[in-house]
Structure 1
Amino acid sequence: MGETQENRGIENGLASAMARVGMGAPQALHRLTGGATMESWRFSSDGEDFVLRRAPSLEFMAGRPFGHDVEAAVIRAAHGKGVTAPEVVVELVPDDGIGSGFVMRALPGTPDPRAILAMEDPDQLLREVAADLARIHSLKPADLPDVIPTMDYAEGVAGLREQFEEAGGDRPIIALGLKWLMDNLPVPVEPVLNHGDYRLGNILCKDSHLTGVLDWELVHFGDRHEDLAFGCMAVWRFSRYDRPALGLGSLEDYFAAYEAAGGAPVDRERFRFWSIYRTVWWALGCIRMADFWRRGEDRMLERVVISRRTSENELDLLMLLDDDLLPGIVTKERLLAEELDRGEANDAEIAEAVSEWLATIKDQMEGHDRFQLAVARNALGMLARGYRILPRSTDPELARDYLAGRRDMTSDPTITRFRRDALDKLEADVPKYPALAVARQKWTGED
């Protein structure tokens, strides 16, 4: 693709920023794929490779507890203490004219989860990840900016409930998760520095070794179990649902490696609490992606597609809560759209036709445009499948009843319907999600 106006603007801003540290103008600038919130751009300067991390708009930074200057300072501190964090070279300033962000020296390795999961020695990787988390958790407040927030657990749960209400307050499955969190709030422990987003997709690996930890925008002080649990969420394990520790191995080996590297003993009940907390958190985060798009803060296609990943989290929540829910067998029947394949083309067929056409021009795309085309085809697939499967996913009255304690999750027969709805909704949105097959087998007996 030809040079775009956006690229030229970023090149000019980077030239200004790099000049402040005695480096030459950027070359071979291109945007990297991925990143649910921030943009990443790779470029060369004076024969070395660098990565620019920036917000898609200044409005996108509004309401965050701290800016990129603090994030950069935390990365510098972690790098200085032996964490596999990148070296920050220079921060952007307003006169650069390209928004908020900073430049890091590029690290070796890949962030691609599937490439990492295919590496020869996942046990070694798991040990290095656990040791890296132990080092992060050992960083002291004196080493860091004093504006980093400390998480209050009760305030965190209350904040999730507020987000839930802002999102409509009509998802009974998320309400179940919120109610469980409210009823099982753990007592506070001595807070440690949490990375806040430590998972596959945010780490770099090469030849079965950890080479970098990225995306520090959610750093805060809190319970170490939150960091330990986050990367183990099913949604971040990708194809390895059978390996509960970051898709790399067993929880027993993960905890043992963390403790051997100096981490405090792991409490399984606290680990479960933060697994459920973060699943509710990400479910609501996915929903918010659609709001970012609607308000025009970021009109990238990924936003609306990520919003549909709420269905992954709803199914994961039911699986995490299963021991506390009324047991029951899910029937195989589902709600189907009627008269799908008669008369003029329906919405599903139009979506399929556009997707097939996009496939014919895939080889003409490169870089981020090729990634966007894949996202577009994924979105069209959601539309086509969703037209044929019509799950019920919203019920504000039921959600309010669960939050108020008027319905008991251990005895309410509606729970069985939620399992059916979650299966159907995920089959429409993300049919290849590994947890879907596991849940279907558990709840219906279907292979």
Structure 2
Amino acid sequence: MGDGDKAGSIEQGLARALARIGLPGPEEITRLTGGATMESWRFSTAGEVFVLRRAPSLDFMKDRPFGHGTEAAIIRAARQAGVTAPEVILNLEASDGIGSGFVMRALPGTPDPRAILAMEQPGRILTEVARDLARIHSLGRGDVPPDVPEIDYREGVNALRLQFEEAGGDRPIIALGLRWLLDNIPQREEPVLNHGDYRLGNILCEDSHLTGVLDWELAHFGDPHEDLAFGCMAVWRFARYDRPALGLGSLDDYFAAYETESGRKVDPARFRFWTIYRTIWWALGCLKMAAYWRSGEDRMLERVVISRRTSEQELDLLMLLEQDAPEEERARRVILPDMSCIYLGEASQPEMATAIAEWLDTLKDKLTGHDRFQLAVARNALGMIAREADLLPASRDLLLAEALLAGEKSLASPQLLAELKAMAIEKLSADVPKYPALRAARQKWIGEH
């Protein structure tokens, strides 16, 4: 079903839902871009603008820790605590016939990371981000529904290990990271409410001010350092790899602002643990996207493309872990194979993929909204196919992964770190060659400028 057909179906269901609170039916329904798991639809009614957040079916929610009713209650509690969270005006009901979800009053600002990073006062946004996180972390068990889960650190690491094994257990860099987690689990800290997905892409900003915090579906109780670390991952800094705090500024400024607002001291060791934990979590989350697609459960194009972003996290993970290697291994030369390939005669597979991508580019002005976004995703997928045909990186090695996970090999093993560095660079060069951390890694590891 295309976005146009969906909009017609959603319009009828929304009209039923809005009638319950005395509002007329929706107008100008448009699907917002992004949203690999949930859909967001913008519409107007009674002279105001709202956003519907929904899952396409009730079955889609069956394996989640809590439903949209709890998510909406968390948002309401956060808003009451002074967080720049949206105002939820109603929850969908089964009789509305459009799945599970809720409606929020639209907030000003843009979620576009690049637009936010280009604003004049990123430091001010960072201070407001730290303020909002501190307010989220002030919420206790009595403030939210009882089904909001608490993460047990060791159970969380074991769950990642199980997920890794279910995905083949053959990625040496992820295995190395899992071994590190198992060896460095911190003591439990008094849990606080975590947003769970606090990063660029899930916040709104306007005129160098934070105007909204979105996407609360991963909220849980746990270590506050987890929330602090997640938004600082390299993948969520986008073009500003040089600004380690959400792409907006320095960690020192970020921690100072958070400590002032929360009265809680930031522990760098715990921050590092959760940065590594969440990097592995997202690497495995990317892998799982392909499994969703293969199962037929969700054939969304974005899922297969996101699955290839595992290589971003593998490189980020190795850059986080290498500081534990002996100096002689960190200094060892990284040798990359010759990736050049010249084709003669009939068109090659990468040339055909490139030709299709160039043709799709001619259609972008004919599409709008989510369809235009999907076209960009399709072009990215074709680019991956073209590059991988020239380069088939040996990123899978079951025996090496098992040895690393068992602790039989480590970063102290001669030549291993250099080999993993070459593996990470090759794979990411095929998958996402414009990833900012790749340039930093090439400069650091092979002296490329």
TM-score (norm 2): 0.97
* CA deviation vs aligned residue, 1:95-123 (integer Å, no higher than 9, x gap): 11111111100000000000000000011
Deviation at 1:58, TM superposition (A): 3.0
Match of 1:314 in 2: 314
**Does 2:143 correspond to 1:149?**
no
* CA deviation vs aligned residue, 1:148-171 (integer Å, no higher than 9, x gap): 111100000000001001111010
Match of 1:28 in 2: 28
**Does 2:399 correspond to 1:397?**
yes
Change (3 A) 1:3 1:157: closer
User: Match for 1:402: what amino acid?
Assistant: L
Match of 2:337 in 1: 334
Give the conservation status (yes or no) of the 8 Å contact 1:402–1:409: no
Change (3 A) 1:121 1:321: same
Give the conservation status (yes or no) of the 8 Å contact 2:334–2:421: no
- Map of 1:356-435 to 2, 5 A cutoff? 356-435=358-437
Give the conservation status (yes or no) of the 8 Å contact 1:56–1:298: no
Structure 2 distance, partners of 1:363, 1:330, is 47
**Does 2:354 correspond to 1:352?**
yes
Structure 2 distance, partners of 1:281, 1:209, is 30
Give the conservation status (yes or no) of the 8 Å contact 2:336–2:426: no
Deviation at 1:407, TM superposition (A): 1.0
Give the conservation status (yes or no) of the 8 Å contact 2:322–2:411: no
Give the conservation status (yes or no) of the 8 Å contact 1:59–1:297: no
**Does 2:4 correspond to 1:4?**
yes
SS of aligned partner of 1:13: helix
Structure 2 distance, partners of 1:200, 1:4, is 29
Give the conservation status (yes or no) of the 8 Å contact 1:225–1:270: yes
Deviation at 1:337, TM superposition (A): 7.8
Deviation at 1:395, TM superposition (A): 0.6
Structure 1 distance, partners of 2:60, 2:3, is 25
Moved segments of 4+, more than 6 Å: none
- Map of 1:133-144 to 2, 5 A cutoff? 133-144=133-144
**Does 2:232 correspond to 1:232?**
yes
Match of 2:184 in 1: 184
* CA deviation vs aligned residue, 1:143-192 (integer Å, no higher than 9, x gap): 11011111100000000001001111010000011000000000111000
User: Match for 1:334: what amino acid?
Assistant: P
Percent identity for Structure 1 against Structure 2: 67
* CA deviation vs aligned residue, 1:327-372 (integer Å, no higher than 9, x gap): 243444326486x512322210110010111111211111111111
Comparing 52-61 with 94-103, which one deviates more in the overlay?
52-61
Give the conservation status (yes or no) of the 8 Å contact 1:279–1:317: yes
TM-score (norm 1): 0.97
- Measured on the aligned residues, the alpha-carbon RMSD in Å equals 1.3
Change (3 A) 1:65 1:412: farther
User: Match for 2:293: what amino acid?
Assistant: W
User: Match for 1:212: what amino acid?
Assistant: G
* Structure 2, gaps ≥5 residues long: none
* CA deviation vs aligned residue, 1:281-320 (integer Å, no higher than 9, x gap): 0000000011111112221111111110000000000000
Change (3 A) 1:80 1:60: same
Change (3 A) 1:334 1:62: farther
Structure 1 distance, partners of 2:415, 2:258, is 41
SS of aligned partner of 2:330: coil
* CA deviation vs aligned residue, 1:390-415 (integer Å, no higher than 9, x gap): 21110111111111111122224222
Match of 1:217 in 2: 217
Deviation at 1:56, TM superposition (A): 3.2
Change (3 A) 1:95 1:372: same
Structure 1 distance, partners of 2:157, 2:193, is 19
SS of aligned partner of 1:435: helix
Structure 2 distance, partners of 1:404, 1:63, is 30
Change (3 A) 1:343 1:62: farther
Deviation at 1:55, TM superposition (A): 1.3
SS of aligned partner of 1:120: coil
Structure 2 distance, partners of 1:330, 1:279, is 26
Deviation at 1:62, TM superposition (A): 2.3
Match of 2:440 in 1: 438
- Map of 1:264-279 to 2, 5 A cutoff? 264-279=264-279
Match of 1:59 in 2: 59
Structure 1 distance, partners of 2:261, 2:359, is 52
Deviation at 1:128, TM superposition (A): 0.3
